[in-house]
Amino acid sequence: MDFKGMVVVITGAGRGLGYEYARYFASKGARLVLNDPGRQGDNYVVDFAAKGLANEFGAQVVTNHDSVEFGDKIIDAAIKAFGRVDILVNNAGILVDKSMVKMKAADFDLINKVHVKGTFRCTLAAWPHFRKQKFGRVINTGSSSGLFGNFGQVNYSAAKAAIHGLTLAMAKEGENSNIKVNTIAPVAATSMTQGVIQEDILKAVHPRFVVPLVAVLASKECPDNGAMFEVGGGWITKLRLQRAEGVMLPPDASPEKILENWEKVGDFSRRSDYPSSGSDSLERMFANFEATARQRQGSPKL
Ligand code: NAI
């Protein structure tokens, strides 16, 4: 895959998954903007990482230490250093895990600021550049917690689900300008998962094993837009929504009638589908309303 000369911005690139992405793109001749405010003592970890990549691969690397919520400053760094941005990997992340009993509003706000606002602000700043050059690739970072929920992670689950919401809508807005936006839900042995993933399976989920999918999604050849993938340990799989056929009742049906039909509401065994927009739902609702009105020779009661 050819990334020579392309400008790649990676947030949270000082360690973990972000650092592994940086290493790959540096090895492929990309020009890099590595963001991370994380410090070790007086030094920014990302500066150390950048120096290493410049020495090892001769890569052109600049660093930025702003929090992702100030995404415009990160993208400005790319424009100032290289005059363009081609690929944005929204990777930065933190955890503040607490059960609902202990969670404070501030814990929710902080997680949403870093994950949701951070992803939005970085992409918003890169968007006009992508549109102008008719090319852009965005890799957003979700999580299995955002797909399935997780105990003690109400804040993080909400933020990660919201990130895929950003992906879905941005993908639709970007498609005419060759801007492709996808979400990954990675599993990797990093500081974030220390103590969470069992010791004996840590080696199976080295962060490097997530890199190849990110490369595909960042490439000119990227075959998807608006998709969600689980990735780790060499397993790459796409997820989608499934909708049951459901039941069509008169719009003014009682709650008791809905309960009587509950099995049909959730029956995926017959005529389920995989919707990618809400427009056909509206058509079905309108057709049902009209059919009821015709049958009764009058509109359903409000
Ligand atoms: P990590 O903790 O090793 O790295 C995260 C990096 O983000 C750190 O270097 C940190 O300094 C940086 N960061 C934190 N707040 C920031 C901010 N406001 N602005 C810029 N950078 C900031 O974690 P890891 O595992 O590499 O995580 C990367 C992404 O993958 C995160 O979004 C995480 O939620 C996600 N993820 C990771 C999983 C895993 O199994 N490791 C599972 C699911 C999701």
pLDDT at 90 over 90: yes
Strand-by-strand arrangement of the 179-186 sheet: 61-64, 31-35, 7-10, 87-90, 136-141, 179-186, 228-232, 235-239
Buried b (16+ CB within 10 A) or exposed e, 231-242: bbeeeeeeeeee
Q: Tell me, in angstroms, the distance from the centre of ligand 1 to residue 115's CA.
A: 9
Angle at 46 between CA 40 and CA 48, to 5 degrees: 75
**What's the rounded mean pLDDT across residues 39-63?**
98
Q: Tell me, in angstroms, the distance from the centre of ligand 1 to residue 274's CA.
A: 31
Q: Which of 216, 221, 246, 245 is nearest to 231 (CA)?
A: 216
Q: Which residues, other chains included, contact 200 with Cβ-Cβ below 8 Å and sequence gap of 6+?
A: none
Taking a C-beta distance cutoff of 8 angstroms, is the pair 166, 120 a contact?
A: yes
Quickly state the pLDDT bin for 199 (edges 50, 70, 90): confident
Per-residue confidence (pLDDT) for residue 221, from 0 to 100? 98
Q: Tell me, in angstroms, the distance from the centre of ligand 1 to residue 40's CA.
A: 16
Per-residue confidence (pLDDT) for residue 47, from 0 to 100? 98
Q: Tell me, in angstroms, the distance from the centre of ligand 1 to residue 117's CA.
A: 15
Q: Is 63 left (phi over 0), alpha (psi -120 to 50) or beta?
A: beta
List the catalytic residue out of 21, 24, 44, 156.
Answer: 156
Ligand 1 atom with the smallest distance to the CA of 18 is: 26
Per-residue confidence (pLDDT) for residue 299, from 0 to 100? 83
Classified as helix, coil or strand, 23 is helix
pLDDT at 301 over 80: no
Percent of the chain with pLDDT over 90: 93
Per-residue confidence (pLDDT) for residue 200, from 0 to 100? 84
Euclidean distance between CA atoms 12 and 18, whole angstroms: 6
- Identify the residue whose C-alpha is closest to ligand 1 atom 33: 93
**Tens digits of residue pLDDT in 136-181:** 999 999 999 999 999 999 999 999 999 999 999 999 999 999 999 9
Taking a C-beta distance cutoff of 8 angstroms, is the pair 157, 149 a contact?
A: yes
Number of Cβ within 10 Å of residue 150's Cβ equals: 15
**Tens digits of residue pLDDT in 259-271:** 999 999 999 999 9
For helices 71-82 and 118-133, give the axis angle rounded to 10 degrees: 40
**Tens digits of residue pLDDT in 222-246:** 999 999 999 999 999 999 999 999 9
Euclidean distance between CA atoms 228 and 112, whole angstroms: 20
pLDDT at 123 over 80: yes
Query: Which residues approach ligand 1 with their CB closer than 6 A?
Result: 11-12, 14-18, 35-38, 67-68, 91-94, 114, 118, 141, 143, 186-188, 190-193
Ligand 1 atom with the smallest distance to the CA of 114 is: 18
- Identify the residue whose C-alpha is closest to ligand 1 atom 23: 192
Euclidean distance between CA atoms 133 and 129, whole angstroms: 6
- What average pLDDT does the chain have? 97
Q: Tell me, in angstroms, the distance from the centre of ligand 1 to residue 301's CA.
A: 52
**What's the rounded mean pLDDT across residues 40-69?**
98
**What's the rounded mean pLDDT across residues 120-128?**
99
**What's the rounded mean pLDDT across residues 191-200?**
87
- Identify the residue whose C-alpha is closest to ligand 1 atom 10: 12
Buried b (16+ CB within 10 A) or exposed e, 183-218: bbbbbbbbebbeeebeeeeeeebebebbbebbbbbb
Q: Indicate the pairing of strand 228-232 with strand 43-44.
A: unpaired
Per-residue confidence (pLDDT) for residue 198, from 0 to 100? 86
Q: Among this protein's residues, is 19 annotated catalytic?
A: no
pLDDT at 300 over 90: no
pTM: 0.97
Taking a C-beta distance cutoff of 8 angstroms, is the pair 76, 51 a contact?
A: no
Q: Is 275 left (phi over 0), alpha (psi -120 to 50) or beta?
A: beta
